[in-house]
Amino acid sequence: MPPTNLRNSRLLHRASLGSATSRRHFLQFSAAALSGVALSNCARNLSNAGSSPASSPTNSTANKTLHIYTWANYTDDELLRGFQDRTGIQVVVDTFDSNETMLTKMQGGGGKAYSIIYPSDYMVEKMIADEMVAPLDQSRLQGTDRWLPQWQDPVYDPGNAHSMPVVWGTTGLIFDPGRVSDPIKGWDYIWQNVDQLSRRITLINDVREVMGATLKYLGYSLNSTKPAEIEAAYNELLKLKPAIASFITNGWEDQLASGDLTVSMAYSQDAIYLIEESPNLQYIVPETGSSLWTDTMVIPKTAPNVDAAYEWLNYMLDPENSAKMVERLKIATPNEAAFEKLPTNLQQDQNLFPSKAILAKSEGIAPVPQAITDLYERYWTQLTSS
């Protein structure tokens, strides 16, 4: 569903509660974890977000238990077992399927059990403004100088004063090269082949992602606040209407793999999962650039175990641990020292780590003034309902 308040809703694939799920998005619970806790190891868009909040730890176990609230595929048994072996701290993981689900729980008091939470970049801004997260004590962190330049001083949290980047990704196009007439390098293929692509492409169900990609294609900023540029993007998208099968964030995967769709706009993580099943598919970030999203770790002001939270942050800052996470979970790390430890094949995996040239052309989706938000939404309503 499209966002209702774009200032607080970026990267809405994590907020698409009504989106369809595919067989790639499932919950897998393990009773073999050292902590004895059910751990989720699944794709981002499906989780146990509807389950009961984690129980507050008792006084006798508080110093040896860390409650984490995260995206569903960001932890696994090996990660938690290694942390407990090193620190003696047991980890309890609850997962959410959208930033908004997480925020609602936090606002309702259900977040008081958690000492680490994983909000996305735009949500960090909101949680800081709402005084929900604690400033990080930089003297207690080891290795914050290891982040890649894009994450040293992010716009959503200058100086990383309240958050640590942990996972990032891109938005791009996925397709079967054998089913297209020419190599796809960017959006120009779509506009040049509208007649051949009749009802055979899908776009993410997110106004800022779709309008932003079109703005980049036209040579403008993904975060344009100029009405004339936004109108130009809308008019350009109108030309694609005959080719668009649907605006959908998830649920296109099987149709693309079977050939019923030709091209889908997708988040890199979703594309990577699908390509593991269907290696004939290819994912690209358009050569004109696209959006760059980041998920982070924060310590809420209500954290019951701050000491354990810092243990976790430092464990995640360890390049060895971060590198192993990339290898096992296929998630991109912003830790440069961890990147250097990766096998060459992963370092060169353009789906995980796009080239510096592509990154230089990409932008994170940033908040815009309310009047511009309203303009984006008005055009989006016209585009998706006509």
Between 60 and 222, the higher pLDDT residue: 222
Which has the closest alpha carbon to 167: 81, 74, 32, 232?
Answer: 74
Inter-residue contact 76 to 35 (CB < 8 Å): no
9, pLDDT greater than 90: no
> How many Å apart are CA 27 and CA 265, to the nearest integer?
24
User: 168-218 pLDDT, tens per residue?
Assistant: 999 999 999 999 989 999 999 999 999 999 999 999 988 989 999 999 999
Average of per-residue pLDDT values in the chain: 84
What is 6-168+294-354's CATH topology? D-Maltodextrin-Binding Protein; domain 2 (3.40.190)
Domain ranges of the chain: 6-168+294-354, 170-291+359-385
Residue 361: which residues within 8 A CB-CB, separation 6 or more? 216, 287, 288, 289
Between 370 and 176, the higher pLDDT residue: 176
Give the pairing type, strands 263-267 and 201-203: parallel
- Categorize the per-residue pLDDT at 100 as very low, low, confident or very high, splitting at 50, 70 and 90: confident
Inter-residue contact 331 to 167 (CB < 8 Å): yes
- Categorize the per-residue pLDDT at 231 as very low, low, confident or very high, splitting at 50, 70 and 90: very high
Q: Is the pTM of this model over 0.85?
A: no
User: 111-144 pLDDT, tens per residue?
Assistant: 899 999 999 888 898 899 999 999 999 999 999 9
User: 269-316 pLDDT, tens per residue?
Assistant: 889 989 999 999 999 999 998 899 999 999 999 999 999 999 999 999
- Categorize the per-residue pLDDT at 62 as very low, low, confident or very high, splitting at 50, 70 and 90: low
Which has the closest alpha carbon to 266: 175, 147, 198, 186?
Answer: 175
Residue 1: which residues within 8 A CB-CB, separation 6 or more? 12, 16, 17, 18, 205
CATH superfamily label, 170-291+359-385: Periplasmic binding protein-like II (3.40.190.10)
User: 10-58 pLDDT, tens per residue?
Assistant: 333 333 333 333 222 322 222 223 333 333 333 333 334 433 344 444 4
| 292-310 burial: b if 16+ Cβ within 10 Å, else e | bbbbbbbbbeebbbeebbb
The two domains 6-168+294-354 and 170-291+359-385 share their CATH topology (first three levels equal): yes
